[in-house]
Structure 1
Amino acid sequence: MQFITDKQTLADLNLLGKYKSGSLFNFFNRVKTKGGELLLEEMFRTPLTDVVGINSRSASIRYLQKIGIGFEMDNEPLEDALQYLTGARPSGFIASLLGCYRLKIQEILYHSDSFQVHQQQTKAMLQVFRSANILLGNLEKLEEKDNSCKSLQSRLSEVIKNVPIQHFELDRPYSLQETAQFQDLFLNKFRNQVEQLFHILYEFDVLISVASVATERKLSYAKASKEDSDILMEAENLKHPTLSDAIGNSFSLSREKNLVFLTGANMAGKSTWMKTLGVSFYLAHMGFPIAADRMTFQVMEGIFTSINVPDDINAGWSHFYAEVMRVKSVAKEVSDGKRLFVLFDELFKGTNVKDAYDATLAVTERLAGYKTCAFVISTHIIEVGEALLNTPSVIFRYMPTIMVNSKPQYTYHLTEGITTDRQGMIIIENEKILEILG
């Protein structure tokens, strides 16, 4: 089963993008190899949807973090070795030897550098195996009784021990016969094992990279629970992982209480908190660490957010119509019976207050009836909250604003209830807008 999301959600939560400032991909991207970077991107695009897979990956990262292992391997020899692997598979040693003779003759007659490049790539392949062997030795030296990386470590050991390269030296030129032996070894007899080695090394590169971030930022690991659990999501002191000075909050959603109605003034922290929830949910399904003292969650089928919905000039959609179409697309997914986490920030803010009130109330009441989904809906229209007080599955939370000397201050502490804060006009007066206008 594939995890369901879309471009809007990925953009709202700033999940992807090597060159995008503040992205979660960049936050965890400490990999040493190009293949590791591609694998990390793949993990970000395909969160897991099975309990065993999620908890297994979390346990592997936690174990590598605990033993403090490093990934000491340069990308350059890996890339040279990969280039070597693009060569055609020889039929046997004789074919390899004839090919090497041909390259050597070209070097003598035409000053071609093909044979030297071939030797360089051969050395790179040997260097990769030597570095992999060092990694394996460090893993075995640091190994503890409960080794959650045992399977991956065993695969690495099996490949290294099955490819007979131990007696070859690195720092000398190879004869034509030796070069042909390597080609037959790597590109023919043990090609599948060599390709496996690269995949294993990329996986270690990613897991060790994520473990190093977890150590540096003091992150923890969420625990996935089965579908029959009553708790949909529960966290203590949950923070946004990329914000070093974030205020943590506790949070809980269940089948019986599956919708949080969130209110608060502008700048009180509603949007940041919703992004925190979305990011943490997404990372937890990847098996990656999150910023919390504790978190458990029920594995779901996907996540949809509506936080920064733009208008669409090409389609002729106003901001409000774009909001409506966004809610419609999510409603279809929910009504199809999918188990989803849905976050709507400031529903229908693109229309007048009366329509926004009616629409927010109607949509919220209906969403609350889908017990296998979890929802967080924020709004400035606190009257909607008052109309929902008798809806048993709705939880009410707000972000407080405290006025100190007529200036707003924000605690960012999630508080039970519905806000009564109405400081908009005070802020306008503080900025002296009316005085500027005369």
Structure 2
Amino acid sequence: MRIDAQTLRELELFEGPEGGTSIFDGFIRTLTKGGERRLRKRFENPLKTLDEILTVQQTLRFLRHEPEAWLPSLSGRQERLIEEYLFSGIETVSSGWRALAAIQGLKQTFIYRHFDQIEVGCQETWRCLRDFHQLWQRHRPREKTPLLEKIWGQAEILFSDQQLQAVWKPKPSLSFGDIFVFDRLFRAKCFSQVKQLIGLIFELDALTSMSQICKELRLNFPEFENHSEPQLEIEALVHPRLIQAIPNSIKLDSKTHFLVLTGPNMGGKTTFLKACALAVYLAHLGMGVPAQRMKLTCFKGLMTSLQNHDNLELGYSYFYSEVRRVKQAAELIRQEKQVLVIFDELFRGTNLQDAFDASLEIIRRLSLFPQVLCILSSHLIELVPQIQNLPGMQFFCFKVTVHKNSFDFDYQLYPGISEHKIGLAILKSEGVLELLEP
């Protein structure tokens, strides 16, 4: 699924608000930095096909029951020592014979004084590989998912390398000569194989982390429909970062593909839009979603327009940045067809009449693409009479109860249109107008 940098930024996937915690930061459960890098790579690349999504989903379901049983023991400290050792650049001995290697190793010990680093790094690498080999043997006969079978198959090829057979032989510890023989293996002759095996450990760490967060946050795995008509149905959806969030539901398909969302400021519109986009995004990672139930088709693209900015370097005004974003959405629609597009208030950077006219033209054209699911929030309720009979339109809103000096928001989604306008009332309640009295 295609997703661009602005959408990633607006959903706070890798950059939290004002430098705070991002969605990704909150989802990290990896034991190693290498596992975290593999996890981030998965998050940066949502899956494109239904088969890929279901394959990962099946594996996360499988790992959910006993995640620790499928992960080799590799601590962050051990990972750091191994990485520093493997990429140290220290010269290895030239002989693979234990006695001769030990003699050559004396040079490293007494002349270059590298023995401590070589000993610690080699021992930790040896233990790490042997732990993975034992785990691989233990689970080899067990029934596994296709993705785990693929990892086990890759590991089998590497474990079967004739040059590495001495590593798997029972041995309580490494002798002085063993250290230099294995050091030559790990950092010279079989460096590529060792890197690949450790990479498989990182991949298991990433998958286990994804499974663990699904279990910890009680994320439910969505159901994917395999047909050409777009569909998005979510029951009891919440934003994963909110505590005691109010759940809401949504349904879009080719017959009702355009949802217009209205409501007062602070009523929950933007948070709901982000929650919808995040659910679709997580589903395309193969993960569970923060909803009671979700059914959808595989989307080719996801794009949001929630926080446009002017660009002084490029000379773009706020309004022109909005126009460019709508153009990017139109280009995505032309290229991919089956996409989800989410707009939070079109054309805020211009006067009301221009915003009305431009919004109306964009909505009219988007309504003619039943393969595109669109959610648009707007304060321009004057648009409603002009668009209510367009193909595929549906209207939902958030409401507010206004008291003399306060407002009550229930953050519940209702069918229909909200005509509440409380901007001036909020200014008054915050005492802003009093501060500006001469």
User: Is the contact between residue 218 and residue 291 of structure 1 (CA under 8 Å) also seen in structure 2?
Assistant: yes
Query: Residue in 2 aligned with 1:16?
Result: 14
1:36 aligns with 2:35: yes
User: Structure 2 counterpart of 1:398, which letter?
Assistant: C
**How far, CA to CA, are the matches of 1:359 and 1:96 in structure 2?**
79
User: Structure 1 counterpart of 2:2, which letter?
Assistant: I
Query: Residue in 2 aligned with 1:129?
Result: 129
**How far, CA to CA, are the matches of 1:347 and 1:259 in structure 2?**
14
Rate the CA distance shift 1:337–1:301 in 2: closer, same or farther, 3 A: closer
> Residue 123 of structure 1: CA displacement?
0.6
Rate the CA distance shift 1:97–1:41 in 2: closer, same or farther, 3 A: farther
1:76 aligns with 2:74: no
In structure 2, stretches of 5+ residues that fail to align are none
Give the SS at the match of 1:336: helix
Q: Which is worse superposed, 127-136 or 286-295?
A: 127-136
TM-score, with normalisation over the residues of structure 2? 0.88
User: Is the contact between residue 301 and residue 336 of structure 2 (CA under 8 Å) also seen in structure 1?
Assistant: no
Query: Residue in 1 aligned with 2:60?
Result: 61
**How far, CA to CA, are the matches of 1:423 and 1:268 in structure 2?**
10
Query: Residue in 1 aligned with 2:409?
Result: 410
Q: Which is worse superposed, 159-168 or 330-339?
A: 159-168
> Residue 325 of structure 1: CA displacement?
1.7
**Aligned counterparts, 1:145-224, within 5 A:** 147=145, 150-152=148-150, 154-155=152-153, 158=156, 162=160, 163-164=164-165, 165-169=167-171, 171=173, 174-176=175-177, 178-183=178-183, 185-186=185-186, 191-224=191-224
Rate the CA distance shift 1:170–1:74 in 2: closer, same or farther, 3 A: farther
Query: Residue in 2 aligned with 1:291?
Result: 290
User: Structure 2 counterpart of 1:391, which letter?
Assistant: L
> Residue 344 of structure 1: CA displacement?
0.8
Q: Which is worse superposed, 128-137 or 381-390?
A: 128-137
**How far, CA to CA, are the matches of 1:241 and 1:410 in structure 2?**
20
Query: Residue in 2 aligned with 1:280?
Result: 279
User: Is the contact between residue 46 and residue 285 of structure 2 (CA under 8 Å) also seen in structure 1?
Assistant: yes
Instruction: State the Cα deviation string for residues 123-182 of structure 1 (Å, max 9, x = none).
Output: 1111112332464477679x6x6756641563376268635334354545x232x23442
**How far, CA to CA, are the matches of 1:287 and 1:134 in structure 2?**
28
1:105 aligns with 2:103: no
User: Is the contact between residue 89 and residue 188 of structure 1 (CA under 8 Å) also seen in structure 2?
Assistant: no
> Residue 373 of structure 1: CA displacement?
1.7
**Aligned counterparts, 1:232-251, within 5 A:** 232-251=231-250
User: Is the contact between residue 155 and residue 200 of structure 1 (CA under 8 Å) also seen in structure 2?
Assistant: no
User: Is the contact between residue 310 and residue 321 of structure 2 (CA under 8 Å) also seen in structure 1?
Assistant: yes
Give the SS at the match of 2:68: coil
Rate the CA distance shift 1:99–1:395 in 2: closer, same or farther, 3 A: farther
Instruction: State the Cα deviation string for residues 190-230 of structure 1 (Å, max 9, x = none).
Output: 555433321221111111112222222111112333352x3
User: Structure 1 counterpart of 2:76, which letter?
Assistant: N
User: Structure 1 counterpart of 2:4, which letter?
Assistant: D
TM-score, with normalisation over the residues of structure 1? 0.88
**How far, CA to CA, are the matches of 2:232 and 2:138 in structure 1?**
38
Instruction: State the Cα deviation string for residues 355-402 of structure 1 (Å, max 9, x = none).
Output: 111111110111121222211111111111232110121111111112
Q: Which is worse superposed, 245-254 or 159-168?
A: 159-168
**How far, CA to CA, are the matches of 2:99 and 2:195 in structure 1?**
23
**How far, CA to CA, are the matches of 1:429 and 1:16 in structure 2?**
37
1:364 aligns with 2:363: yes
User: Is the contact between residue 346 and residue 379 of structure 1 (CA under 8 Å) also seen in structure 2?
Assistant: yes
> Residue 119 of structure 1: CA displacement?
2.2
Query: Residue in 2 aligned with 1:374?
Result: 373
Instruction: State the Cα deviation string for residues 1-23 of structure 1 (Å, max 9, x = none).
Output: xx322221111001114994231
Give the SS at the match of 1:355: helix
Q: Which is worse superposed, 115-124 or 57-66?
A: 115-124
> Residue 353 of structure 1: CA displacement?
1.1
User: Structure 2 counterpart of 1:182, which letter?
Assistant: F
Identity of aligned residues (%): 28
User: Is the contact between residue 129 and residue 160 of structure 1 (CA under 8 Å) also seen in structure 2?
Assistant: no
> Residue 68 of structure 1: CA displacement?
4.3
**How far, CA to CA, are the matches of 2:436 and 2:108 in structure 1?**
83
**How far, CA to CA, are the matches of 1:97 and 1:416 in structure 2?**
82
**How far, CA to CA, are the matches of 2:247 and 2:146 in structure 1?**
29
**How far, CA to CA, are the matches of 1:138 and 1:385 in structure 2?**
64
Instruction: State the Cα deviation string for residues 110-133 of structure 1 (Å, max 9, x = none).
Output: 3x2223322222211111123324
Rate the CA distance shift 1:259–1:98 in 2: closer, same or farther, 3 A: farther
Rate the CA distance shift 1:413–1:102 in 2: closer, same or farther, 3 A: same
**How far, CA to CA, are the matches of 2:13 and 2:362 in structure 1?**
27
**How far, CA to CA, are the matches of 1:347 and 1:337 in structure 2?**
22
**How far, CA to CA, are the matches of 2:200 and 2:42 in structure 1?**
15
